[in-house]
Amino acid sequence: MRIDRGFHRENVAICDVDVSSGIAGEIACLECGGDGNWGKFAPEIVGADYPCNDCKGTGRMWVSL
């Protein structure tokens, strides 16, 4: 499914969307890749195990349908 991101919806991402909740879709976090760890991008600054800010370390995020 196509996901439109950004303030003006100018960024497009293609990903699998779980629509089992019926009212919203759930996807793997687009910021961290779904593992909830942002520390892999800058371990020397934040440490190797740092929770992703976008998904709060859960690895999942909701999108509107």
Residue type, 24: A
Half-sphere exposure of 13 (CA within 13 A, CB side): 14
What character string, x for contact with Zn ion (CB under 5 A) and - otherwise, covers 25-44? Answer: ----x-xx------------
Q: Residue 4 or 50: which CB sits closer to Zn ion?
A: 50
Q: What residues form DSSP beta bridges with 2?
A: 14
* CB of residue 29 to Zn ion, shortest distance in Å: 3
Q: Which one, 26 or 31, has the nearer CB to Zn ion?
A: 31
Between 21 and 53, CB nearer to Zn ion: 53
Under the rule (CB under 5 A), what is the footprint of Zn ion?
A: 29, 31-32, 52, 54-55
